Structure 1
Amino acid sequence: MIIKGVKSIRKVEPYIENLSENENYYLGLKIDDTVKEKLVHLGFSNELPDGDALLPDVKNGKFSKFNTLGGFRLRRDLPKEDYCYSYSRDIEDWHGTNHYVIITRCIKRIAREKLQAPEVELLLNSNVSGEQFIIANYQINLQTIDQNLLKHIINLFLELFGYVEFLKKDLNTIPKINNITLRWEVLPKGELPWNQKDEYIKSLGKLAAKGQRRMLSDRLDIVEDLKPNFRAVGINGYRGYIIYGFEDKNIFVFESAFYGNATYIIEGRWEDISKLTKAEIIQSGLCKHRLIHDKNWENRIKKLLPK
């Protein structure tokens, strides 16, 4: 069953009515030259080794963005909620002197229900005949899979490739993801050049507003001053996330460019942490502290990581 000719779908029923409820399927595509070109553009290597997996970058469209960041559902049936947001700006006093300030505003808004990011990854795999496919990292059984997740995976493939196919379980089992470098790029040890940091933050573009990018830059300056052993920046769908390693303390600082997020202090081995998804990093028992991005953030992180 191939789904094509539409930009997205609203209901999955018309596309699964002829599929067996007793079969397991994958959603994906057989790789040809056109698909390979798109995969390389998305961030895969030219070699396309089986087992490589990639979380699509949010810049690819609204379904890729939801896949990485999640979203929300307006709840007009609930009372309005308090919402506070911060931004930075330069103001000029009566004497003509500029001051950098962080402004926090609080308002009442329609209540919102958080929708968790699915974090569906694209995975390379081959069947016993040597034919290679790009598939979603979910085995699909129509009796058990959440219909919203199924619709999301279909729409994600339509956004990235223009079509998608239900594939029978000829691909055997999903192989273990073996290439974490498609998620993280470990930067050279030593001090991060300021121009490199600024270029990385600038590359985030619409992922963070201008005032929020400046606050992110300030937070990174503070963590840099604490002398981490190494840094790993997120790439592809992990773009906008940075991990600082303090290996002598067995502590890792998981920082985000996105407003409303927090800094997560994690204990554990980097090799293990790097294999986790963002949700697993945040929700796992490895997370020891969660530091909200507020006016007390700097004092709290300095207490946790004294020089």
Structure 2
Amino acid sequence: MKRILKLERHLPAFAEGELVRAVVSMEGRSVNMLKRFGFVDPFDVGQSVLPSVHLGPAARRNAYGYAIVHRDQPMEEVIRQHSWKRMEWRGRDKVEVENVIDHKYRRYPRTYVAGEGVEFTIMVGHDGTKVIASPSYHPVEAAESLLMAANLLVEGFGAVEFLREDLMPQLNVPIKRLNWDIFPQGRVPWSQVREIIDRVTERAPASVKPVIRSRVKAIERYVPDFVAIGRAGFDGYWVFGFTKQGLYVLESRMLDNATYVLDADWEAVSRLTKAEIINSDLSVARLIHDGSWPIKLEEVLRCVLP
């Protein structure tokens, strides 16, 4: 099985009103397969993760969402930033300089739809064995979410089954979310942070990497005391925190994304899905990636300066 197109063809008959989970047994699953999905050895009950975007198209759609292109509407002008190298005379010497510039181009309008953000938790099944389970969904009212959950398991493990919610026992251990690698709070080891972000941005186009680095340096100037690097389905995202002010800046290697500034403590932020981050009341600022981005960032973070 590669993909489920129609949920009703695979869904058993459930009683009206029953909630359903997409589930796969951990029996016979290799360590590499579980790690690739996003879990961490020793795979304790309670681990919860947004599936890694490297699984395939379903995982990327779940994490990043998608765009609806409106080809029936007039084209619009948009801006994408990239680096530009040129030679410049300085006295008698000719040196190479690099600038971040706005590139304007026209395209059809598009509406961005946030990803479902389906996460999976290691739980104990009704027979005492470990299973990987989605949240519970109403099979009619939340059919799209259940279908996404099913396809994520198919993409990660090649199998899925649907179980009633009451066949899964109540989780009696704390959920340990694995979406973020967190540096100790206090003095940020910037050399390590830059090294990790450079590895994350290695997959970005050459002209984009300097743009990402310039944003990180801009945020670094405000001296955050907290850093979290996204992993699994949050790969390519990082958070810079100003814990005294309760502000957290969410940045990404995806150029079409905005920078989000969240007003909360880290416990609240770390529990949010991507869709909730984008739509949450915790977001106090959304800074579009264009030429005015540094000015807007200064307006928001001015309060953290001594």
Same structural fold, with TM-score higher than 0.5 when normalized by the shorter chain: yes
Q: Determine the structure 2 residue equivalent to 1:156.
A: 152
List per-residue Cα deviations over 1:162-191 (Å, max 9, x = no partner).
Answer: 1111123300456786213x0111114424
- Residues of 2 paired with 1:175 and 1:112: CA distance? 44
Give the alignment partner of residue 296 of structure 1, picking from 292, 301, 305: 292
- In the TM superposition, what is the alpha-carbon distance from 1:192 to its structure 2 partner? 2.8
Residue type at the aligned position of 2:4 = I
Q: Which amino acid aligns with 2:288?
A: I
User: What secondary structure is seen at the aligned counterpart in 2 of 1:140?
Assistant: coil
278, 281, 284: which is aligned to 1:285? Answer: 281
1:174–1:241: structure 2 CA closer, same or farther, 3 Å change rule? same
Tell whether the 8 Å contact from 2:23 to 2:161 is kept in structure 1 after alignment.
yes
Unmatched 5+ stretches in structure 1: 1-5
Alignment partners' CA distance in 1, 2:22 and 2:245 = 43
- SS in structure 1 at match of 2:209: helix
- TM-score under structure 2 normalisation? 0.87
User: 2 CA distance for matches of 1:149 and 1:223?
Assistant: 35
- CA contact 2:36–2:55 (8 Å) conserved in 1: no
Task: Provide Cα deviations, 1:216-252, integer angstroms capped at 9, x if missing partner.
Answer: 1111112112111121111111121111111222222
- Give the secondary-structure state (helix, strand or coil) at the position aligned to 1:232: strand
Structure 2's unaligned 5+ residue stretches are none
Q: How much is the aligned-residue C-alpha RMSD, in angstroms? A: 2.4
How far has the Cα of 1:36 moved from its partner? 5.3
Count of matched residue pairs: 297
**Structure-2 change in CA distance of 1:283 and 1:134 (3 Å):** same
Shift in Å, 1:293 = 1.8
Q: CA deviation at 1:161?
A: 0.6
Q: Which residue of 2 aligns with 1:123?
A: 121
Trace 1:159-170 onto structure 2 (pairs within 5 A).
Answer: 159-169=155-165, 170=167
Secondary structure in 2 aligned to 1:33?
coil
The answer to whether the 8 A contact 2:38-2:50 is kept is no
The 8 Å contact of residues 204 and 239 in structure 1, kept in 2 or not, is answered as: no
Partner of 2:138: 141
2:189 aligned partner: 192
Of all paired residues, the percent bearing the same amino acid is: 27
- Does the 8 Å CA contact 2:118/2:149 hold for their aligned counterparts? yes
- 8 Å contact from structure 1 (residues 229, 246) kept in 2: yes
Residue of structure 2 equivalent to 1:3: none
TM-score in terms of structure 1 length: 0.86
User: For 1:96, which of 94, 97, 111 is the aligned residue?
Assistant: 94
1:21/1:141 contact within 8 Å kept: no
User: Structure 2 CA distance, aligned partners of 1:25 and 1:233?
Assistant: 32
